[in-house]
Chain A
Amino acid sequence: MSETKPPLDPNLKALESEAIHIFREVAAEFERPVMLYSVGKDSSVLLHLARKAFFPGRIPFPLLHIDTGWKFKEMIAFRDRIAAEFDLDLVTHTNPRGKLEGVTPFTHGSSVYTNIMKTEALRQALDAGQYDAAFGGARRDEEASRAKERIYSFRTPDHRWDPRNQRPELWSIYNGQIRKGESVRAFPLSNWTEVDIWRYIQAENIPIVPLYFAAERPVVERDGMLVMAEDARLELLPGEVKRRETIRFRTLGCFPLTGAIRSNATTLDDIIGELETATVSERQGRAIDRDEAGSMEKKKREGYF
């Protein structure tokens, strides 16, 4: 932000340049791009890179937030503050089935709930906007099926991913040729790792949701997960006790499905230090990945990001 900001190290600089290149390429090749904005740390980095890519102009596409209605309150407050501060075109969408049919993570189980409120909602929003390209913040180091995803990931008109039939991707030359109705998911952060994300947030002073930093918060332990117990909609089950603990989140999603970790990391330095000695991956806290082997691949085939 100030003139004294030290230059990025060559590793982050290379990752940044690659991401900016991808942003510009997609914006130039597609008619109606959109950027998925999940309000998490990766989205915050993605947004920062988009601002850099199109500077001194505005970001030439809208941001789309799929709001399941079950996000942490702090996430929604943060989203609205950022949208105002950076003058963003923010589109939000919630699957009306949530209200109509009373679909919640408690009544329908994490798998059905995710499918309706996230995957189906995303398809609805992409169709409504007639977007032909959608940026996402997925990284290849996150999960095994993502390790094989292209930077330009082709989708059929019904948003399906066919991992067996992906277009070869050589050098940094991307094939953006599609027919009407087809689309591409573009992943500028493909080659970033979790530590890179945190180092970049630190180096670039990028604002993130405070839930990533440790603080004393109300929690209950459920199915081996630490669930934050702040929202009145979380009903305690028999035997569950609400207590206050010093926790933080490594990833953010829907509060009933995202496990916190016990941590005292209150600064970016603390978080990076914690990561370097971490023995579990960040997705460990995500209930939806644990349903079955290959569950991410299955969700992705159906149109999930």
Chain B
Amino acid sequence: MTANIEATAQTALAPEPATRNARPLRLITCGSVDDGKSTLIGRLLWDTKAVKEDQADALERDNRHQQNDLGLPDFALLLDGLQAEREQGITIDVAYRYFSTDRRSFIVADTPGHEQYTRNMATGASTADLAVLLVDARAGILEQTRRHATIATLMGIRQFVLAVNKIDLIAYDEAVFNRISGEFRQFALSVGVTDVTAIPMSALLGENVVHPGSASMPWYSGPPLVEVLELATQRTAQTVGFRLPVQRVSRPDESFRGYQGTVAGGSVKPGDSVVVLPAGTVANVKQIVTFDLVRNAAVAGDAITLVLDRHVDVARGDMIASIDAAPALGRAFEAKLVALSADAITAGKRYWLKSSSRRQRVRVMPKTRLDLKSGQWEGAESLPLNAIGTVHLDFDEAAMFDPYETNRNTGAFILIDPDTNNTVAGGMIVERTTRVDGIDAGGERDHVLLSLPEHLADRLMASEAFAELRDHVEIRRVSGTRAAAVLKDVD
């Protein structure tokens, strides 16, 4: 939180032109072709001069029906890079676009909007700091909008821009804009998102994208999209415990032994006490080595070589962490999963799990699946392509993770099918668990029996919080009389 505030303050102090004083902001755009997504991205690239004349010429060359009324190129063609996409007029895959202003550089993950491409959206959202949700002012919030917001939230995005596009087609009606943005804010709150900026916009006419649209919308006093992006905060992993997943051991000669990796959380300095996981060996940091100089500190995001003060056994896949704030170490974890493959994630199947630089065997047990229409979590035994669900992970050997909520780097993983070598799921750790094997486990008075009407119980069980903890709960459906009798037996 502190870091976020600092980042905002930093960017708010008008930086010198032509120096990028921040890391590139990564964002994802969600919406379908009909909402004008390609036009919006095209407009961003065009108005920030990221598209050059020869690229626009090439568009005109391969396309006869090109050009819109404004004499601009057909942006969709510029963006759909693959031949199959141009032929079918649809966006299939995630594409990355780059543009910059004097203040900041931006990386846009441009993903298709249709439901069958949930996996592409999840891919784009995995690295994004902010999501731009596009709606057609004439249509308002659709089921698709809610679905995109849900997926983005799940993947850890907490900043949203609602771009109410085609506002020119409803005569710049402020009341309609207010209704749509109000409806979205309410929905966003229900999924825990408070940071929403709504912008009335005409991507086609370039109003409130890069340049202000005040001539047509004097009633809108907020910033155009690019200004919101310039000031957006970045997720930082600098305030959590130190984490260095070891990628490789550097031993150029007998006298030097360094552990190379990218700091995945917190910060480190010479003298710090660290623990090497999973072994649990303790050591102190002697040196932080980089090509340029020996440094006196490193923070999350830095690629470094760490030298310890004693000889300990460290290999690729191990994690060097702060001794007083180590990640959870265990053989069983709960996680959320996005299924990315046509082959469903099936109960009991063994996969390779890769997280940071560590790869290990895991058995996956699906528990629930999110119904994207209703927002409810329902029981599930497998997760087909594009499904989002909760799973239980069982490892053969110790694994280390942080909850994804706390640290996106050390809480994320992918599953690889050992039969096909394909990446079949992306996952986010919820927490470490110990399997509750029946009611006998545990001591006196550490269990709670709840009895409640079925409709209330169903609502409770469909909630996200419950879905994550389902493994811990024993459920029986009985009549009200029987429930009363059971409870009577207990004090």
Q: List residues of chain A with CB under 8 Å of any chain B CB.
A: 3, 5, 9-17, 20-21, 24-25, 27-28, 51-58, 140-141, 143-148, 163-164, 166-173, 175, 177-179, 190-191, 193, 195-196, 276, 278-281, 283-284, 290, 293-294, 297-298
Q: Are B24 and A191 in contact (CB under 8 A)?
A: yes
Q: Are A177 and B421 in contact (CB under 8 A)?
A: yes
Q: Is B331 an interface residue (CB 8 A)?
A: no
State which of A3, A17, A56, A196 has its C-beta within 8 Å of the C-beta of B289: A56
State which of A12, A25, A144 has its C-beta within 8 Å of the C-beta of B247: A25
* Complex Cα spacing A20 to B298, Å: 15
* Complex Cα spacing A195 to B422, Å: 35
Q: Is B340 an interface residue (CB 8 A)?
A: yes
Q: Are A169 and B123 in contact (CB under 8 A)?
A: yes
Chain A residues contacting B96 (CB-CB under 8 Å) are 140, 147-148, 190-191
Q: Are A10 and B21 in contact (CB under 8 A)?
A: yes
Q: Are A14 and B23 in contact (CB under 8 A)?
A: yes
Q: Are B53 and A179 in contact (CB under 8 A)?
A: no
Q: Is B65 an interface residue (CB 8 A)?
A: no
Chain B residues contacting A177 (CB-CB under 8 Å) are 352, 416, 421
> What are 22 residue pairs bridging A and B, where the CB atoms are less than 8 Å apart in the complex?
A5-B292, A11-B105, A14-B23, A14-B24, A28-B357, A55-B290, A140-B95, A140-B96, A141-B50, A147-B81, A148-B93, A163-B93, A164-B82, A168-B123, A168-B340, A170-B127, A171-B414, A172-B409, A173-B356, A173-B412, A279-B53, A293-B61
Q: Are B105 and A193 in contact (CB under 8 A)?
A: yes
Q: Is B432 an interface residue (CB 8 A)?
A: no
B424 CB to nearest chain A CB (Å): 9
A52 and B62 contact, Cβ closer than 8 Å, known pairs A21-B247, A168-B119, A170-B122: no
A131 CB to nearest chain B CB (Å): 18
Chain A residues contacting B352 (CB-CB under 8 Å) are 177
Chain A residues contacting B29 (CB-CB under 8 Å) are none
Chain A residues contacting B18 (CB-CB under 8 Å) are 276
Q: Are A28 and B354 in contact (CB under 8 A)?
A: no
**Extra inter-chain contacts (19) besides given A56-B258, A171-B414, CB under 8 Å:** A9-B21, A12-B20, A14-B23, A14-B301, A25-B247, A27-B248, A55-B289, A55-B291, A144-B81, A145-B82, A148-B93, A167-B422, A168-B123, A171-B127, A175-B416, A191-B98, A191-B107, A279-B53, A281-B55
A234 CB to nearest chain B CB (Å): 24
Q: Is B32 an interface residue (CB 8 A)?
A: no
* Complex Cα spacing A178 to B420, Å: 9
Which B residues, 1 to 59, have Cβ-Cβ distances below 8 Å to chain A? 18-24, 50, 52-55, 58
Q: Is B261 an interface residue (CB 8 A)?
A: yes
Q: Are B423 and A168 in contact (CB under 8 A)?
A: yes
Q: Is B68 an interface residue (CB 8 A)?
A: no
B235 CB to nearest chain A CB (Å): 12
Which B residues, 49 to 105, have Cβ-Cβ distances below 8 Å to chain A? 50, 52-55, 58, 61-62, 78-84, 86, 92-98, 100, 104-105
B193 CB to nearest chain A CB (Å): 21
B411 CB to nearest chain A CB (Å): 10
State which of B62, B84, B95, B290 has its C-beta within 8 Å of the C-beta of A147: B95
Chain B residues contacting A140 (CB-CB under 8 Å) are 95-96, 98
A257 CB to nearest chain B CB (Å): 16
Chain B residue with minimal CB distance to A277?
A: B49
State which of B83, B252, B291, B414 has its C-beta within 8 Å of the C-beta of A51: B291
Q: Are B262 and A17 in contact (CB under 8 A)?
A: yes
Task: List 5 A-B pairs, minimum CB-CB distance, nearest first.
Answer: A144-B81, A293-B62, A11-B20, A20-B303, A57-B252
The 0/1 profile, CB within 8 Å of A marked 1, for residues 396-435 of chain B is 0000000000001100111010000111001000000000
Which B residues, 380 to 408, have Cβ-Cβ distances below 8 Å to chain A? 408
B414 CB to nearest chain A CB (Å): 5
Q: Is B116 an interface residue (CB 8 A)?
A: no
Chain A residues contacting B123 (CB-CB under 8 Å) are 168-170
Chain A residues contacting B355 (CB-CB under 8 Å) are 173
* Complex Cα spacing A152 to B275, Å: 31
Q: Is B186 an interface residue (CB 8 A)?
A: no
Chain A residues contacting B127 (CB-CB under 8 Å) are 170-172
Chain B residues contacting A284 (CB-CB under 8 Å) are 52, 54
* Complex Cα spacing A58 to B250, Å: 10
Q: Is B153 an interface residue (CB 8 A)?
A: no
Range of interface residues on B (Cβ < 8 Å): 35 or more
B29 CB to nearest chain A CB (Å): 14
* Complex Cα spacing A52 to B107, Å: 24
Q: Which of B20, B80, B97, B119 has the most CB of A within 10 A?
A: B20
Q: Are A294 and B54 in contact (CB under 8 A)?
A: no
Chain A residues contacting B100 (CB-CB under 8 Å) are 193, 195
Q: Are B82 and A170 in contact (CB under 8 A)?
A: no
Chain B residues contacting A166 (CB-CB under 8 Å) are 93
A147 and B316 contact, Cβ closer than 8 Å, known pairs A9-B20, A191-B24: no
Q: Are A24 and B247 in contact (CB under 8 A)?
A: yes
Chain B residues contacting A195 (CB-CB under 8 Å) are 100
Which B residues, 203 to 221, have Cβ-Cβ distances below 8 Å to chain A? none
B327 CB to nearest chain A CB (Å): 16
* Complex Cα spacing A249 to B79, Å: 27
A173 and B95 contact, Cβ closer than 8 Å, known pairs A11-B105, A51-B291: no
Q: Is B475 an interface residue (CB 8 A)?
A: no
A296 CB to nearest chain B CB (Å): 9
Q: Is B302 an interface residue (CB 8 A)?
A: yes
Chain A residue with minimal CB distance to B82?
A: A163
* Complex Cα spacing A175 to B417, Å: 11
State which of A9, A27, A148, A298 has its C-beta within 8 Å of the C-beta of B95: A148
Chain A residue with minimal CB distance to B352?
A: A177
Which B residues, 299 to 350, have Cβ-Cβ distances below 8 Å to chain A? 301-303, 305, 316, 340
Q: Are A55 and B356 in contact (CB under 8 A)?
A: no
Chain B residue with minimal CB distance to A293?
A: B62
Chain B residue with minimal CB distance to A199?
A: B20
State which of B53, B79, B81, B414 has its C-beta within 8 Å of the C-beta of A170: B414
Q: Is B159 an interface residue (CB 8 A)?
A: no
Q: Are A141 and B98 in contact (CB under 8 A)?
A: yes
Q: Is B126 an interface residue (CB 8 A)?
A: yes
Q: Are A293 and B289 in contact (CB under 8 A)?
A: no
Chain A residues contacting B448 (CB-CB under 8 Å) are none
Chain A residues contacting B126 (CB-CB under 8 Å) are 170-171
Q: Are A25 and B357 in contact (CB under 8 A)?
A: yes
Chain B residues contacting A297 (CB-CB under 8 Å) are 81-83
Which B residues, 96 to 142, have Cβ-Cβ distances below 8 Å to chain A? 96-98, 100, 104-105, 107, 119-120, 122-123, 126-127
Q: Are A16 and B303 in contact (CB under 8 A)?
A: yes
Q: Is B260 an interface residue (CB 8 A)?
A: yes
Chain B residues contacting A14 (CB-CB under 8 Å) are 23-24, 301
A24 and B260 contact, Cβ closer than 8 Å, known pairs A148-B93, A171-B127, A177-B352: yes
* Complex Cα spacing A167 to B80, Å: 19
* Complex Cα spacing A14 to B228, Å: 21
